Structure 1
């Protein structure tokens, strides 16, 4: 019934609450999207005309200029949006709150690696004028030019004076909780949370990530680039899902996702964390589902763990503890970490250790613009090598770096992103 109602809304402009979706019922969260579909076009103009005439009810996004009424001025605004000529674009941010973005946007500050990756995929990285300390410290190889830009401090607690000194138009923030506070401290700068850190692989119909990419396409007049990137992402995600969706529960290996921090207490990823989504899409059963239904990750109960028997252990690496990813071409530290995990006493008798099914995964694959998709491809190959005998995760990874990140980077010669290496 919900799908039917949403389809009818696209046709007849029935008023609806905005949702984030990318199936037939996807609603692009930009004011001016009067017919509540996935784009702004001539149909929205016709929808507004029908609302003005009284032949259709008002919709949530029909007030394109947000002046409190729906009239001819909204048609003018929609025409400007279609032609990328609007002076202000009114959108719903990643929290579902209305935000007015003055355009054109030429000067952007980014606080976490997800934002510059997406901007580079949209050919808009030249608009970045400032970055956080985190990007400068850990992502100099991934962002050879961007990382040289002025720093605005910590990615969660940035320096407001430095941000203001850079005359930024937009600040793309990492988290969703301090947007109002930052906006008060940054007059003249649009503080924008788009949810680019969240992959939303399972609930694609609730994907803030993809919605955020599309909104940036409109904000930056990069709609074609945004569509190209999203279509590429969807192709590989759907390719993997179409195969793993056919697996029975017995055919899915039991997987334990841990956060590898040498010398520290063992931590497990919870069901609310990205690695749970990646594991599920790749055709695995996450061990956390039976006991760890929280948002991120937590210390593991060792007595509980002794009663479990994971068939695969995935270890997420941290730049702070292990040299890997873009920051080294030498796998020795990652290999040593794998050996360390195999000698953890509570794990020595589990199937994963006995069978050598312990896989190390780079920090990049739970962070960044589209790391989770690429990480999922590697996981699918590990979990089901026969089912994905024709899938080459490294080729997907290489295409992303070359085509969308415009990097001269050869994965055959550079970097340590997974260990042991995945066979093509």
Structure 2
């Protein structure tokens, strides 16, 4: 549904509050007795304090999830720390409590984000089934090219999944209760809901996945990069007054489609210190009128695109598609008076950055575009290269290959 300028909801105060990027989180795995970001010796001390009556019990103190906190929970925590626990009980992103039989050796990744996350954790050898979306992304995710196809994320092939006999199925928070869990009910196959693309949930989800697949060190390495970018940006943007923050129009992978509050592009924009002008609109990805954009008069325009729409990303070295779309945006009727167009602050960006484990790259690029003077020394391409080379182990030279932003 198109939203006319005169009906648009102007940003409300809560949408203007810039969240801390590298804020702490609670790892929702039973055994995390002190409710912090990891399971370690401090949790053993916490459980002992609960047993001795010196500390109050916590939601996650019952490590073996048997209904009582006692010395057996201390033993279970020790096994989790050592990585040889026989069960792991957790609360996933869909707020479902489930107990997994460990170790997890066979995984069906029903989303391309979970496939990428498993490569980040160097656990691709555990993947026995992937989505159509992953197979279509064969240049970026070549490890899975010969992996069995289990259908689309919203149309999973349950029969195929059953024949693969996985220890675990991973899908989105919205998809797992709807498409996966009911159809696996009565089987021995558990499913876990992890989005693995939202900037706000990625830290806790990546660490949880690290425990699930026994790759906690690799999860920590990813979080170091995430927090490095987050802290660098937050340190300089958190003190910017609301009325001085850059006003941004985000356009999705279709003309005049935008992002509302809480969507992947919105989260990255907000975390980079920008104000998403469409944050308060209704719907998830509403289509707006061209006049609405002109009335909002953004200072920066970011157009996100997918390879299925415009040749871009890892599959091409030719930026002409990005260049043509940007020129089209600049030439839209009446847009020459928009501040972003007047100031030549219209940017093309690969869509997957804003909604994938690679979101720190988007945050870096957006921060650079929003506040070039503040981030004169920030090098988003170097961060992207580190994500590919150091985190994922990819042999891909960004100075020679790919089209991810335009202008370069």
Asked whether the two chains share a fold, i.e. TM above 0.5, the reply is yes
- Counterpart check, 1:309 vs 2:297: yes
- Which residue of 1 is the match for residue 329 of structure 2? 341
- Which residue of 1 is the match for residue 387 of structure 2? 400
Over 3 Å counting, the alpha-carbon distance change for 1:279 and 1:54 in structure 2 is: closer
* Cα deviations by residue, 1:232-270 (Å, 9 ceiling, x for unpaired): 210111101111223344543321111242xxx622222
- Number of residue pairs aligned between Structure 1 and Structure 2: 387
Structure 1 gap segments, 5+ residues each? 1-20, 201-207
- Counterpart check, 1:328 vs 2:316: yes
Could you tell me how far apart the structure 1 residues matched to 2:21 and 2:354 are? 22
Could you tell me how far apart the structure 2 residues matched to 1:365 and 1:133 are? 19
- Which residue of 2 is the match for residue 195 of structure 1? 195
1:273 Cα deviation (Å)?
Answer: 1.9
- 2:389 and 2:396 in contact (8 A); partners too: yes
- Which residue of 2 is the match for residue 288 of structure 1? 278
1:159 aligned residue (157, 160, 177): 157
- 1:374 and 1:396 in contact (8 A); partners too: yes
- 1:172 and 1:193 in contact (8 A); partners too: yes
- Which residue of 2 is the match for residue 103 of structure 1? 102
1:209 aligned residue (202, 223, 247): 202
Could you tell me how far apart the structure 1 residues matched to 2:74 and 2:58 are? 14
Local SS of the residue matching 2:337: coil
Could you tell me how far apart the structure 2 residues matched to 1:298 and 1:126 are? 39
- Which residue of 2 is the match for residue 218 of structure 1? 211
- Counterpart check, 1:273 vs 2:263: yes
- Which residue of 2 is the match for residue 383 of structure 1? 370
Over 3 Å counting, the alpha-carbon distance change for 1:154 and 1:360 in structure 2 is: same
Could you tell me how far apart the structure 2 residues matched to 1:339 and 1:108 are? 44
- Which residue of 1 is the match for residue 36 of structure 2? 37
| RMSD across aligned positions (CA) | 2.2
TM-score (norm. length: structure 2): 0.88
1:154 Cα deviation (Å)?
Answer: 0.9
Could you tell me how far apart the structure 2 residues matched to 1:251 and 1:174 are? 36
1:120 Cα deviation (Å)?
Answer: 1.6
1:25 Cα deviation (Å)?
Answer: 6.0
Local SS of the residue matching 2:156: coil
- Which residue of 1 is the match for residue 230 of structure 2? 237
- Counterpart check, 1:228 vs 2:215: no
1:132 Cα deviation (Å)?
Answer: 0.5
1:288 Cα deviation (Å)?
Answer: 1.8
Over 3 Å counting, the alpha-carbon distance change for 1:259 and 1:216 in structure 2 is: closer
- 2:89 and 2:98 in contact (8 A); partners too: yes
* Cα deviations by residue, 1:147-205 (Å, 9 ceiling, x for unpaired): 321100111221011111112111110233533752342222220112312111xxxxx
* Cα deviations by residue, 1:41-76 (Å, 9 ceiling, x for unpaired): 333233333333444332211211112222332222
- Which residue of 2 is the match for residue 69 of structure 1? 68
Could you tell me how far apart the structure 2 residues matched to 1:387 and 1:244 are? 9
Runs (4+) off by over 4 Å: 21-25
- Which residue of 1 is the match for residue 10 of structure 2? none
- Which residue of 2 is the match for residue 299 of structure 1? 287
- Counterpart check, 1:410 vs 2:397: yes
- Counterpart check, 1:148 vs 2:146: yes
- Which residue of 2 is the match for residue 16 of structure 1? none
1:308 Cα deviation (Å)?
Answer: 2.5
Could you tell me how far apart the structure 1 residues matched to 2:133 and 2:322 are? 22
* Cα deviations by residue, 1:371-422 (Å, 9 ceiling, x for unpaired): x21012111222222221111110110111111121111111111100010x
* Cα deviations by residue, 1:322-371 (Å, 9 ceiling, x for unpaired): 1111121111111111111112224232122233221111122122212x
Structure 2 gap segments, 5+ residues each? 1-19
Could you tell me how far apart the structure 1 residues matched to 2:103 and 2:221 are? 22
TM-score (norm. length: structure 1): 0.85
Q: Bigger relative contact order, structure 1 or 2, given CA contacts below 8 A and separation 6+?
A: 2
- 1:257 and 1:316 in contact (8 A); partners too: yes
267-276 vs 145-154, which moves further: 267-276
- 1:113 and 1:367 in contact (8 A); partners too: no
Could you tell me how far apart the structure 2 residues matched to 1:34 and 1:253 are? 41
Local SS of the residue matching 1:165: helix
